[in-house]
């Protein structure tokens, strides 16, 4: 009987398989820890895997180790050659998930919008569709000379936000 030779392994196919395995394991891992959530998953051409997570109460080193071990123990090292890095989103990273907005209610944000207006304001509310910002601003008096402090509030839809970052106090 003649042996059928198969073609070369297709790296993109194996990377897709690896990504599917990781996504399934990551979903199972995060289902067990509902306080943690995924921010980003990236697999480079050399199979270096970068997972970024965040948590409702922040992320500890132990949280990153938990996710890393959950993923590593489910992938066969003989079949896939990979490196794995799990990290938190970091204080200087832009907000990208609704849960990040919700956990930062009460903090001051820098927000860039699609209509080219930027805000530095306190996040007072966040729901599934929008955020609410509050700030005080000095404006001219309607009558007479001088200025008065006016309270402002705006609701912004997530689709209108280009970038939002938490202001870090010095």
pTM, rounded to two decimals: 0.81
CATH fold label, 11-88 = GMP Synthetase; Chain A, domain 3 (3.30.300)
The domain locations on the chain are 11-88, 98-166
CB 147 within 8 A of CB 140: yes
98-166 matches 11-88 in CATH topology: no
Give me the tens of pLDDT residue by residue for the chain, a chain 170 residues long. 555 555 444 467 777 888 899 999 999 999 999 999 999 999 888 889 999 999 999 999 999 999 999 999 888 888 888 899 999 998 889 999 999 999 999 999 999 999 999 999 999 999 999 999 999 999 998 888 889 999 999 999 999 999 999 999 86
On whether the 98-166 domain is CATH 2.30.30.100, my answer is yes
């Amino acid at each position: 009987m003649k042996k059928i030779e198969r073609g070369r392994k297709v790296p993109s196919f194996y990377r897709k398989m690896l990504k599917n395995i990781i996504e399934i394991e990551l979903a199972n891992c995060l289902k067990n820890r509902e306080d943690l959530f995924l921010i980003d998953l990236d697999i480079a051409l050399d199979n270096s895997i970068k997972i970024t997570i965040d948590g409702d109460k922040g992320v500890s080193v132990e949280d990153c180790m938990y996710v890393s071990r959950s993923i590593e123990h489910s992938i066969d090292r003989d079949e896939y050659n990979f490196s794995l890095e799990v990290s938190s989103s970091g204080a200087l990273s832009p907000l990208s998930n609704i849960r990040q907005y919700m956990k930062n209610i009460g903090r001051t944000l820098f927000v860039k919008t699609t209509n080219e207006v930027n805000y530095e304001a306190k996040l007072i509310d966040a729901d599934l569709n929008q955020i609410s910002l509050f700030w005080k601003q000095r404006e001219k008096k309607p009558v007479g000379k001088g200025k008065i402090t006016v309270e402002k509030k705006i609701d912004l839809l997530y689709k209108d936000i280009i970038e939002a970052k938490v202001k870090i106090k010095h």
